[in-house]
């Protein structure tokens, strides 16, 4: 049972990281195309992902450091 929980936690962490990395790439690649209107738009998008994954305070702080 412990192994199962550890695997679920590992999967969740990987999915959360992947989702955040995806919006960070979108922000960096915006170039000709506006993906996020401003930093607040980017932060809102990220915070909605964090909410979806029930992020910890440390994870929220990590993300806000990217903004």
Q: Which pLDDT does position 1 carry in this prediction?
A: 65
Q: Which pLDDT does position 30 carry in this prediction?
A: 61
pLDDT tens, 5-64?
A: 889 899 999 999 999 999 888 877 666 666 777 888 889 999 999 999 999 999 999 898
Q: Which pLDDT does position 11 carry in this prediction?
A: 93
Q: What is the DSSP string of 2-67?
A: HHHHHHHHHHHHHHHHHHHHHHHHHHHT-TTS-S-SSHHHHHHHHHHHHHHTT--HHHHHHHHHH-
pLDDT tens, 20-32?
A: 999 888 877 666 6
Q: Which pLDDT does position 33 carry in this prediction?
A: 67
């Amino acid at each position: 049972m412990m192994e199962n929980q550890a695997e679920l936690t590992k999967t969740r962490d990987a999915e959360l990281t992947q989702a955040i990395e995806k919006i960070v790439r979108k922000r960096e690649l915006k170039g000709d195309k506006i993906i996020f209107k401003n930093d607040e738009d980017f932060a809102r998008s990220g915070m909605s992902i964090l909410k979806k994954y029930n992020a910890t305070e440390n994870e929220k702080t990590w993300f806000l450091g990217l903004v």
